[in-house]
């Protein structure tokens, strides 16, 4: 019985050491990435990107003002993007389709600097992260918009 407890204790100790090692590696990636994101946010890059995204918003059936929401999601996180959405969309009359398309856009393409840094550390090149996350978000949002519009689904406000 004592041998089993010793093996269990060794296993738990090894597991905790591995978890701590992974956590410290992630901190080395996340802290610089988060500092860069905060600097970009303070420099107004998110607002600028929102203006750049205006043409894409119309292709996706979204009001141009929602470009800043997705740009907030791209550079920060979903919570910040939701807060921006609540400010921007306050008096807007959005359909269920538009909110669904924006939600899909945000869920696939968010926190690119942080996620990209982690993926790079795992061996995935930045261009692949951008193509898969941002391109995938745009493709999914466009397909949803086309599907919902074609079949007249989720059109009510």
What integer pLDDT is reported at residue 147 of this predicted model? 97
Question: Are 76 and 68 contacting, i.e. CB atoms less than 8 angstroms apart?
Answer: no
Domain with 117 in it: 2-151
Question: Are 53 and 74 contacting, i.e. CB atoms less than 8 angstroms apart?
Answer: no
Structure pTM?
0.74
pLDDT-derived band of residue 45, with 50, 70 and 90 as boundaries? confident
- Per the domain annotation, does 157 fall within a domain? no
- Per the domain annotation, does 94 fall within a domain? yes
Percentage of the chain modeled with pLDDT above 90: 37
Whether residue 130 is predicted with pLDDT greater than 80 in this model: the reply is: yes
Whether residue 126 is predicted with pLDDT greater than 70 in this model: the reply is: yes
- Per the domain annotation, does 143 fall within a domain? yes
Average confidence (pLDDT) over 25-42: 70
* Residue bearing the bigger pLDDT, 6 or 146: 146
As for how many domains the chain has, the answer is 1
Residue 131 and residue 138: Cα distance in Å, rounded?
A: 10
Place of tokens 């860069």: 36
119's CB contacts (< 8 A; 6+ apart) are: 128, 129
pLDDT tens for residues 133-153?
999 999 999 999 999 999 999
């Amino acid at each position: 019985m004592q041998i089993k407890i010793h093996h269990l204790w060794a296993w738990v100790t090894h597991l905790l050491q591995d978890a701590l090692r992974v956590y410290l590696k992630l901190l080395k990636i996340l802290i610089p990435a988060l500092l860069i994101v905060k600097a970009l946010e303070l420099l107004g890059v998110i607002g600028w990107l929102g203006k750049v995204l205006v043409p894409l918003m119309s292709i996706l059936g979204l009001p141009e003002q929602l470009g800043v929401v997705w740009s907030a999601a791209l550079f920060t996180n979903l919570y910040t993007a939701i807060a921006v959405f609540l400010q921007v969309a306050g008096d807007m009359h959005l359909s269920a389709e538009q909110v669904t398309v924006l939600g899909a856009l945000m869920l696939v393409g968010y926190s690119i600097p942080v996620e990209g840094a982690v993926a790079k550390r795992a061996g995935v090149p930045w261009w692949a992260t951008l193509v898969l996350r941002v391109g995938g978000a745009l493709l999914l949002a466009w397909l949803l918009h086309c599907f919902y519009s074609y079949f007249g689904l989720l059109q009510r406000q």
